[in-house]
């Protein structure tokens, strides 16, 4: 069996935690998925997954080799593409992403891609709710999540770090926030698609789960940012969006010694089987772009 195919299957199972979900996503039989994992385990001479009737999870060896295998697959595909005859890319691609990411991160990347590919047209949908890519004729979506949806293929292109922030005006009017527990006494701003009423914070080996009072909830991050700037309360926000407001003093970081869970920024697409050259080129470009231009 082709080890590149087997490696792709291994990477997908690591994300989905399910042989069946990977079989559906990669349009192959479950037996082929099982055989691919067996090939990988023979190759590494080690067990890569713990298997139970309900769950599939990585072993320590599986965790250690996952990132290296991702890089190996990407480098191999890039090398193969490098020696293929190149036709000039042309056509239209529909891309969906959130308003906050589209405004602050995607547009600079898309502008660079279009300057290199002058016959490409890109139609961007800025929506914060998950979309049915097939029925809405969307070629790829960029989403921030813990893992890709099981019905889509996903390639992580960057990390999204978030922090807690509030305006100086709000902080001056309210009691200090010196510990995660203090958040229960404050007005908090919630995002419908992330943790709305329960925020989880980490510090070294400590983990605090705080039930917060969110009187204002929206499904879009830039609206929360503006509410936060105008003193509506405390919000957790992606650094890529709110760093300029911290730099100019409109927002202040809260509990800097505590961390929120990092999320992955995924490029999502329905199927690798029918991936067009232009869509593949955009995926590869975005992966390279965000490697070169780190998201804070």
Cα gap 159→294, rounded to integer Å: 9
Cα gap 182→184, rounded to integer Å: 5
Token pair of 200 as six digits = 């989880």
Cα gap 280→86, rounded to integer Å: 13
Cα gap 139→31, rounded to integer Å: 29
Owner of token pair 């965790």: 63
Where on the phi/psi map is residue 279: left (φ > 0), alpha (ψ -120 to 50), or beta? alpha
Neighbour count for residue 189 (Cβ, 10 Å): 24
pTM: 0.67
> pLDDT 10s digit of each residue in the chain, 296 long?
588 889 989 988 888 888 888 887 777 888 999 999 999 999 999 999 998 877 889 999 999 998 888 888 878 877 776 666 566 788 888 899 988 899 889 999 999 999 999 999 999 988 776 666 766 778 889 988 877 776 777 888 899 999 999 999 999 999 999 999 999 999 999 988 776 788 999 998 899 999 998 989 988 889 999 999 999 999 999 999 999 999 999 999 999 999 998 888 999 887 665 577 888 899 999 999 998 888 76
Cα gap 38→19, rounded to integer Å: 12
């Amino acid at each position: 069996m082709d080890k590149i195919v087997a490696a792709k299957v291994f990477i997908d199972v690591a994300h989905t935690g399910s042989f069946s979900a990977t079989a559906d996503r990669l349009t192959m039989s479950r037996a082929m998925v099982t055989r691919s994992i067996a090939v990988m385990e023979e190759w590494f001479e080690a067990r890569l997954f713990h298997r139970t009737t309900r769950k599939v999870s990585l072993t320590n060896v599986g965790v250690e080799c996952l990132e290296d295998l991702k890089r190996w697959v990407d480098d191999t595909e890039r090398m193969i593409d490098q020696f293929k005859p190149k036709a000039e890319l042309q056509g239209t691609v529909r891309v969906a992403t959130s308003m906050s990411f589209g405004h602050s991160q995607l547009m600079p990347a898309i502008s660079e891609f279009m300057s290199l590919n002058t016959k490409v047209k890109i139609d961007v949908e800025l929506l914060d709710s998950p979309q049915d890519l097939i029925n809405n004729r969307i070629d790829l979506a960029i989403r921030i999540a813990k893992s890709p949806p099981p019905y889509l293929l996903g390639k992580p292109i960057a990390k999204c770090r978030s922090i807690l922030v509030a305006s100086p005006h709000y902080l001056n009017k309210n009691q200090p926030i010196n510990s995660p527990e203090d958040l229960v006494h404050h007005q908090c701003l919630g995002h419908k698609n992330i943790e709305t009423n329960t925020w989880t914070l980490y510090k070294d080996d400590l983990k605090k789960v705080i039930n917060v009072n969110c009187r204002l909830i929206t499904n879009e991050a830039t609206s929360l940012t503006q509410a936060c700037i105008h003193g509506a309360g405390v919000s957790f926000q992606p650094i890529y969006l709110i760093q300029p407001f911290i730099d100019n003093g409109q927002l202040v970081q809260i509990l800097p010694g505590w961390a929120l869970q990092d999320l992955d920024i995924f490029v999502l697409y329905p199927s690798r089987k029918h991936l067009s050259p232009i869509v593949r080129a955009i995926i590869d470009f975005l992966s390279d772009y965000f490697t070169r231009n780190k998201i804070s």
